[in-house]
Amino acid sequence: MTIRKPVAAQRARPFTQWLVGLISSEYLVFGLTLLLVALLAPFTPGLVSIANLLNIAGYLLPLFIVAIGVTLVMITGGIDLSVTSVIALTSVVGAKLISADGSATPTVVGLVAMLALGAGLGAVNGGIITCLRLPAFIVTLASMMFLSGFAVWITQSKNIYNLPASFLALGKQLSIALGLTITLALCVQVVLQRTVYGRWLYAVGQNPTAAYISGVPVRAVTFAAYVVSGFCAALASVMLSARLETGSPVLGREILLDIIGATVVGGTSLFGGKGKIAWTFFGVLFLTVLDNALNLLNLSQFAITIAKGTVILLAAVLDATRHRLGRQNA
Amino acid sequence: MKRLYQRLLEFAPLFMFMVVLAFFGAQSSRFLEPRNLVNILVQASSTGIVAVGMTFVLLTAGVDLSVGAIMFVAAAVAGKMALAGLSLPFSLLAMLVVGWLVSAFNALFIARLRVPAFIVTLATLFIGRGLGLWITETRAMNLPDSFLQFGSARFLSVPVPAWLFGMAVVLAHLVLTHTSFGRQIFAVGHDAEMARKAGIRTEMVMAKVYLISGTCAAVAALVTLGQLGAVSPKFGEQKEFAAIAAAVLGGTSLFGGRGNVLPGTLLGAVLIQTIENGLVMTNANPYLYPMITSVVIFVAVFFESLRNRVSRPFSA
Amino acid sequence: MSTPLLEFDAVEKSFFGVKVLKGVSFNIPEGGMVGLVGENGAGKSTLMNILGGNLQPSAGSLRFGGESYAPQNSGDAARQGIAFIHQELNLFPNLSIAENIFLTCFPRMGAIPLIDRTEVSRRAAKLLRDVGLGLSPERLVETLSTGQRQLVEIAKALSIETRLIIFDEPTTSLSERETLQLFALIARLRSRGLAMIYISHTLADVFRLCDDLVALRDGEVVGCGPAKSFTSASLVALMVGRTMTQLFPDRRSSTPPREAVFEVHKVRRIDVPNYVSFCLHQGEVLGLSGLMGAGRSELARVLFGLDPRESGTILLDGEVIDSLSPRDLIGRGVAFLTENRRSEGLCLDASIAENLTLATLAEHAQNPLRWLSAKSLQTAVSNIRQAVGLDSKTGDGQCVRSLSGGNQQKIVLGKWLLLKPRVLILDEPTRGIDVGAKYEIYRLIQELADSGAGVLVISSEMEELMGICDRILVMRSAAIVDELGRAEFDRERILHGAFGTEIAR
Amino acid sequence: MKTIRHAILASFSILCLVGCSKPDSTGNAPNGARKITVGVAFETLQTEYWVAGFEAIKTELSKLDIAMVEAVADSDASRQLQQVKGFITRGVDGIILVPKDAKTCIPMIRAANEAQIPIVLFNRPADKTDAISTAIVADNAKLTQETVAYMVDQARKIGSKHKAVVVLGDLGDINAIGRRDGFEAAIKGNENIIEVVSRVPSEWNQEKAQAGVANALQANPDIDFIFTSSDFLFPSITSALKAVGRYKKIGEKGHVILGGFDGDATAYQMLVDGYLDATGVQDVYFEAKSAVQALIDMREGKKLPQLIIDPGFVIHQGNLKESSPRMWGANIKKKG
C-alpha cells in the first residue's frame, strides 16, 4: 500500500498532512508501539534495558510464529482456532518421545515428529475444511476442543519432564529462536510477495470463485495454508516447551485471543485477501510491549486488563480511520 | 431417491438430537425422565439466552465476543448491590443497565465508527473482565438466597430460567420473522452497503443488534446467578464460544443473512447441554467430555452443511 | 407547456477537485420518458446517484414537482416518489419477494409492531399481477431468474407512490422475450402517467421507447432534444465525440477448410434430457444464441468444468479430455469469460496487474521455487494493457473495484488473452459496456480468431452475434436446434428457432 | 476533522493511563537508605485462596517495611517467565513465585539464580532440579486424603453403603490432579462403604459444577457423599442440593456428607451452620510467613531446605473451635 496524498490534504496545513500520512501508513501500529515505549519509559525502570528487550523477545517469538500461520489462514478468509491445542498436543507428544521418562528417542527424531504432527493436524483441519466444505470457524473450534481434550487425556493430566539437554538448548539460546523466527518470517513474506503461491493465496481470499475459474487450485492453496498454520504452531510449541522445559497438555491454552487479536490489530483482515507478515509482527510486538510495560508499571491485574482492552480499541479506531482515508484517496 | 435423501437431511439436526437422546436413554433409565429433561432445559438456558442474542449479531455478519464479560460485570454489580442490602428488583435493573451500557459502547464503535466488530468486542471483553475483577476485588461473592429462590422458583411447574429461555426464543423468533426490523437484519447481513442503498438505516439496525445481544447477556447473567447464587472471577468465561457454537450448530451462518432462532439456536444450545448431561448421567470418564462434545458438534455441522450444499464449486 | 416534473439546473459534482459533472441542465416533463445515453464514465451514474440521494451535488440545484429537491439519502428520494432500478439489482436473495418489496415499509397490524403477513401477501400479489409476474410472493428471491428479479424491482417501485422511475440498463440480463415483456410493462406504466428516465447502451431500445433524449459526454450535455431529431449514427457520434463509421469490425469472409480445435460430443448436464454436440474450428468465431434459460451459460459452465457433466465427451485438438476442471483446461489453453464479471471474473480489491496475471502466473515463475520474475510480469502487463486498450490514466496498482464496467471487462479479457488460448469461451462479453469499449472487445475477439484460436461467444444481443460471428448456433431447452452460416444469418430465423415457433430447416 | 480527533483521543488516553499509575516506590529511594523490594508473581488470582495468600504475603512484607511489586500471569507459564525476568530486570531483591506447575518454573528459578536473587516458591514446589530455591508447600494429595478419610469415617459410623460424587477441577491443573489422586487414595480399600457413582469435571467452572452435581443427583437420587476439589464450588453444590431438597444439616435425615479443600469463608460458614463435615485447610499464614522469612534468610546467605512443609490441617465439626483461628476463610468471614 502506498501513501497517496489526497488533493484536499495538500492544501491543508503541513501538520494535518503529516498526521494524515502517519495514520494512513502501514507502520501505524509500529509507530504506536514506539510512542507507547517513549511515553512509558520515564515511568518504568528497565523498560528499555537490554535484559528487558531480550525478555520481551523470548516471550514474543513463539507468539509471532503462531501468528504467522494464523495470518496465512486469515488471508484465505479462514480462521484457525485450533493452534493453541496443536501447541499443547505437539508439546506432550514430542516430550513423551524424547523425555528420559518416556521412550527417550533422539531429540532430532522428536523434533521432526512434533513438526510433522503439527503439519498433519493442520492437514486434517485443512482437509475437512476444503473437502467437506465446512466453515473454518466451527471446524477449528471443534478440533480445538478435541485436541486439547486429547492432549490432557493421553498425559492423564501429568506434565512431562526430564527433557534432554539438547532439546532445552533450543529454549535457552535466544539466538536460535531468533534465527529460526526471522528465517521463517522472511521466507513466508517472500513466498507471499514473490511467488505464485503467495499471489494465489491472496486471490483465494479476495474471491475464491474468480480464483477457481482463473485456474488457481483453490483447495490446494487453502489446504496448504492450514498445514503451514499447524506447522507454525508446532514450531512455537518446540520453542515454548524448550523454554519451559516441560511437555504440558495445557501449554498455550490462554493465548488464542492474544494471537488472533494481535494479527487483526496488525491490519490483517478477518474477511480475507489482505495481510502481511510485517503487519502481524507489529501487532504482536504492540500487544507484547503493552503487556510488558503495564506489568513493569506495577499496575494491578484488573487495571492491566482494562488498559489492554482500551489500547486495542484505540488502535482499531485509528485503523478504521486509516481505511476510510485510504478509500477516500483511492 | 434423491428426494428422500434431501428429506432426510432436512431433519438431520433433529434426527441427530434424537439419536443422542436415545443413546443416553438406553444407558441410563433416569435420563429420559421429564424431570431430567427439564433439568437439561434449565441448564441450557443461560448459554441459550446468550446464543439467542448472538444469533442476532451473527445474522448481521458481526460477532460479539464481549457477552461473557458483560455477564461478569452485570453479576458483579448486582452482587455488590444485593450484598449492600438492596432488594432483588434493584439488582435486576442494575444488571440490565450494565448490559445496555456495555453494548451501547460496542454499538457506538461498530455501527457509528465502523470499527470491525471482532476487535471492538475483543477489547470490551478485556475491559469488562478487568472491571469485573475490580468490582469483585477478585473474590468470590456469595449472594443472598433471594437469587437462588428466584432461580429455582417455578411457574406452572416449569422453573423460571426455562421460562426466560423460552420467552427469549419466542420473542426473538417473532422479532426476526414478524417485524420489519427483523427482516431488515437479514438484509443488512446479506450486504450492508446494498441495504443502505435500499433505504434501510443500517447503523440503527447494527446498533440495535448489539443492544439485544447485551440485554440477552444480562438476562443470562441473572439466570446463572439464580442457579449458582454466587459470583466467582470466572463467571461467564468462555461463554462467547459456547454461544457462537450453539448458534452455528443451529444453522446460523457466520457470514450473515442466514439462520434462525426457532428451532436452530434452541436446538443447538439444548444439544450441547444434553451431551454434557448425558455424560454425567452415564458416569463417563471425565477425560472424554471435550472429545465427545466436539465430535458431536462436528457431525451436526457436517449434516447441516450437506443440507445447505449448493452445487456451486465455492461459496462463502 | 406546464412546469416540468424534474429540472436539473446547472448541476455540478467534483471528486477531489476533479469535475465529473459540468453544469448539467435539462428537464423531464410530467409523464415524459427521457432516454439518457453516454459512454461509461460520461457521468450518467453520478447524475442518477444525485437524483437518487446517494450523492449530493457540489453546485447547482434540482427541482422536483416544482419544488426544490435535495435528498440526503435514498430514503428521501423514495419518499418524494423517485424509484431507482439499478443495473446490479438491489434485491436480497435470502428474503422473499414480498419482503423485498416492503423491506422499508412493512404494513403493520394496527398498533402492534408486528408485520401484517396477510396484508403483505395481498398487496404483494396485487403488485406482482400489475407487473405480470405470476409467482407466489412468498418465494425466495434466490430462486428467481434475473428477468423475474427485474420485475420484482419494478413492483417494489410501484409499491410506493412513485412519480418517476429510473431504469439503469434494465435489459442487459434479460432475454428477448423478457425484454418485450418489460417494454409492454413500461408502456402500461406510462399510460398511468408515470415519468421515466431510461439509461441504456442499446440505442435501438432507446429510440423505440423514449420521447426525448439526453446525451452526456465527459460530464456535459452534448445533445438534448426529441428522439426524432437524432439518428443512431448521430447519437453515437455525439457520445464518443467522433464519428463512428461502424459498430463492428470487418469480418473477413471465412475460408472453408479448417481443422476442428474443440469438439463437443453428446454432452449432457445432470437432470437435463437433451444433449449437445458441436464443433469449433480454428480461427472461427462461433455464436451461441437463444433465450434466457435455454441452457447456454449452463452449457459453457459444464464445458469449463464448473458444473458436473452427466455424459458425453469433449475433444481438444482431437484429444479426449477426461477430467474437466478449470485448472486442467487452462493448462491446455481453454479459457472462459463468465457472465458475472464482478463476482466470478475479478478480484475487486486486487490491483489491475494482479488481476491481469492471475491465470498465467506460472509462466513467470519457471523455476523450482516458483519465484516470480517481476520484470517478466511487468512486461506482460504493459503489453496486454496496450493490446486491450486500457486507458493509460490508471496505474497498474490501482484497485479494479474503482474502474468502469468496460475497463473491468477489458481486464478479464486481457487476463485470458495473456494465456494465448486455443479456445476462448465468452459469456455475454459486452453486457453493460459502452459503445467504444464494445468495439474494442469485438476487435480483440477478431484478432484472437485470426491468430488461429477458436472462439465461442454467447450473447443475448442478436445484432452482436450477427456482426462478429462466422456461424451461429441456436439453443432451446438445452439442445441445439438450428445452425446458420454467415450467409444465412437472419434475425427472424434465429428468433423462431429460439422460441420454437417454427421448425427450422 | 475526525481523523485528528481520533489521533488526539488516542494519545490522550495513553497519557491518562500513564498519569493514573503513579511511579511507585520500586526501591531507589534518593537518600542512600535503600528499601528492599520483593517481586511477587502469582499464576492467577482467580480464586479466593490465592487472594488470601496474596494478602497475607502483602501483610507480612509491610510488617517488615519491604516494598512489593506484583504480577499475575493469567495461567500462562510463558507469560510468567516473562514477568519473572521483568522483576529481575528492574532489580528486585527477592522473588516470591506461585508457579503454574512444578516444571515450568525451573527456567524462572534458574534466571533468578543467575542474577543472584533469592527466590521462594509459594504453595507449589519445583520438580527435582539443580536450580536453587526453597518452596513452601502444602501437599494437596495428602491433605485431601486426610480430609476424605475423615468423611469416610463419618460414613462408616452411619453404616450403610454410601454413593459418592467427586467434583474434579480442571484436568490440566496440577493442584486439581493432586486432590483427585488424594481422593482416590482415600477411597481405595473402602469400596465396601463408598461407591463412586460420578466424577464431574468442573473445569473450575461454577456453572459446570452446578449442572454436573444436579445431573449426578438425577442419575442417582440417593447420593449421600460429595467431595469438591475446591471450596469455591460449594455454592454450586449447595444450589444443586437445595433444588432437590437435599441440603440438610449433619444429623438430619437425608444429610449428604460434604467435604472440600481450601478452607475458605463459605466453607467456614457451612461448618458453623452444621452443613459441612470437613475441609482440608492450607495454612496460608504459615506459608506467607515462612516464605518471607525464607527470603530474608536466603539474603543473609543461610542454607535452607528445598521444601518447607505446610502441614495444613483438616477442619471438621470435632475441632472447629480450636482450629478456626488458623483457618484463613474464618478470618475473612469474621472481618466481614
Report the neighbours of C using a cutoff of 3 or more CB pairs below 8 angstroms: A, B
**CA distance to partner chain B, nearest, from residue C252 (Å):** 40
Region C69-83: mean pLDDT is 85
**CA distance to partner chain A, nearest, from residue D182 (Å):** 15
Nearest to C370 among A2, A195, A210 (CB): A195
Q: Which neighbouring-strand residues pair with C84?
A: C166
Consecutive H or E run containing C315: strand C309-316
Consecutive H or E run containing D42: strand D37-42
Q: Are B198 and C103 in contact (CB under 8 A)?
A: yes
Q: Which neighbouring-strand residues pair with D38?
A: D68, D94
Does the beta-carbon distance from B179 to C114 stay under 8 Å? yes
Q: Among A242-246, C420-424, D203-207, name the most confident range.
A: C420-424
pLDDT for residue D5: 45
Region C282-295: mean pLDDT is 85
pLDDT for residue C52: 85
Does the beta-carbon distance from A58 to D82 stay under 8 Å? yes
pLDDT for residue C130: 86
User: φ, ψ for residue C241 (rounded to 5)?
Assistant: 80, 10
Q: Return d(Cα D295, Cα D95) in angstroms, integer.
A: 8
Chains D and C touch (3+ CB pairs under 8 A): no
**Residue A196: pLDDT band by 50, 70, 90 thresholds?**
very high
DSSP class of residue D161 equals P
In order along its 336 residues, chain D shows pLDDT tens digits of 444 444 444 444 444 433 333 334 343 434 445 688 999 999 888 778 888 899 999 999 999 999 998 888 887 888 898 889 888 888 899 999 998 877 788 889 989 999 999 999 998 888 777 888 888 888 889 999 999 999 999 999 988 899 999 999 888 778 888 999 999 999 998 999 999 999 999 988 888 999 999 999 998 999 999 999 999 899 999 999 988 889 999 999 889 999 999 888 889 999 999 999 999 998 899 999 999 999 999 988 888 888 888 888 999 999 999 999 889 888 887 776
**Lowest-confidence segment of A263-267, B91-95, B301-305, C29-33 by average pLDDT:** B301-305
Report the neighbours of D using a cutoff of 3 or more CB pairs below 8 angstroms: A, B
Residue D172, chain A, CB below 8 Å: the answer is yes
pLDDT for residue B55: 97
Region C177-199: mean pLDDT is 88
Nearest to A218 among B122, B287, B314 (CB): B314
Give the CATH number of the domain where residue B241 resides.
Answer: 1.10.3470.10
pLDDT for residue D24: 40
Nearest C-alpha neighbor of D84 from the set B146, C177, B281, A52: A52
pLDDT tens digits for range B6-15: 667 767 777 8
Q: Is the pLDDT of residue B304 over 80?
A: no
pLDDT tens digits for range B290-301: 899 899 888 888
Beta strands, E only, C29-111: 33-37, 59-64, 67-69, 82-85, 108-109
Tell me if B314 is assigned to some domain: no
Does the beta-carbon distance from B233 to D215 stay under 8 Å? no
- Enter the C-alpha cell of residue B111: 455501527
Region C238-248: mean pLDDT is 67
Q: Return d(Cα C499, Cα C475) in angstroms, integer.
A: 9
pLDDT tens digits for range B1-54: 556 776 677 677 778 888 899 999 998 888 988 889 999 999 999 999 999 999
Region A224-246: mean pLDDT is 93
Give the range of the structural domain holding residue B239, as residue numbers without chain letter: 30-308
Residues 6+ apart with CB under 8 A from C188: none
Q: Is the pLDDT of residue C251 over 80?
A: no
CA atoms within 13 A on the CB side of C68: 4
pLDDT for residue C357: 93
**CA distance to partner chain A, nearest, from residue C154 (Å):** 30
DSSP class of residue C371 equals B
Domains and CATH numbers, chain C: 6-240 (3.40.50.300), 260-499 (3.40.50.300)
DSSP class of residue C351 equals B
Look at the alpha carbons of A205, A211, A212, A217 in this order and tell me if their dihedral is positive or negative: negative
pLDDT for residue B309: 59
User: φ, ψ for residue C169 (rounded to 5)?
Assistant: 50, 60
**CA distance to partner chain A, nearest, from residue C285 (Å):** 22
For chain B, give the mean pLDDT: 88
Consecutive H or E run containing C265: strand C260-269
Q: Return d(Cα A244, Cα A147) in angstroms, integer.
A: 21
Residue A6, chain C, CB below 8 Å: the answer is yes
Percent of chain A with pLDDT over 90: 45
pLDDT for residue A216: 93
Q: Is the pLDDT of residue C482 over 70?
A: yes
Q: Is the pLDDT of residue A307 over 90?
A: no
pLDDT for residue A328: 52
DSSP class of residue D273 equals H
Q: Are B265 and B50 in contact (CB under 8 A)?
A: no
Tell me if B20 is assigned to some domain: no
Domain ranges of chain D: 34-138+284-311, 140-281+316-335
Q: Return d(Cα C446, Cα C438) in angstroms, integer.
A: 12
- Going by their DSSP bridges, the two strands C454-458 and C423-427 should be labelled as parallel
Tell me if B92 is assigned to some domain: yes
- Residues of chain D found within 8 Å of residue B138, distances taken between Cβ atoms: 45-46, 51
Overall pTM surpassing 0.95 (yes/no): no
Does the beta-carbon distance from D6 to A317 stay under 8 Å? yes
- Three-state SS at C16: coil
Q: Return d(Cα D9, Cα D24) in angstroms, integer.
A: 26
Q: Is the pLDDT of residue A12 over 70?
A: no
D324 in the Ramachandran plot: left (φ > 0), alpha (ψ -120 to 50) or beta?
alpha
Indicate whether this complex's ipTM tops 0.90: no
pLDDT for residue D19: 38
D140-281+316-335: CATH topology:
Rossmann fold (3.40.50)
Q: What is the residue type of B50?
A: V
Nearest to D232 among B148, B232, B289 (CB): B232
Does the beta-carbon distance from A309 to B254 stay under 8 Å? no
Region B264-289: mean pLDDT is 90
pLDDT for residue B110: 93
Scanning every residue of chain D, which has its alpha carbon at the shortest distance from the alpha carbon of B273?
A: D211
Q: Return d(Cα B279, Cα D168) in angstroms, integer.
A: 14
Size of interface A-B (CB pairs under 8 A): 144
Nearest C-alpha neighbor of D297 from the set D138, D136, D134: D134
- Residues of chain C found within 8 Å of residue B186, distances taken between Cβ atoms: 92, 94-95
pLDDT tens digits for range B97-124: 999 999 999 999 999 888 888 889 989 9
Does the beta-carbon distance from A59 to D78 stay under 8 Å? yes
Q: What angle do CA A289, A295, A298 make, to 5 degrees?
A: 145
Q: Return d(Cα A217, Cα A223) in angstroms, integer.
A: 10
Region B70-90: mean pLDDT is 91
User: φ, ψ for residue D160 (rounded to 5)?
Assistant: -60, 165
Q: Return d(Cα A83, Cα A70) in angstroms, integer.
A: 8
| CATH number, span D34-138+284-311 | 3.40.50.2300
Region C254-277: mean pLDDT is 82
Q: Are A123 and A223 in contact (CB under 8 A)?
A: yes
Tell me if B151 is assigned to some domain: yes
Beta strands, E only, chain A: none
Residue B194, chain C, CB below 8 Å: the answer is yes
Cis peptide before B89 (omega within 30 of 0): no
**Lowest-confidence segment of C164-173, C348-357, D14-23 by average pLDDT:** D14-23
- When divided into structural domains, chain B yields a total of 1
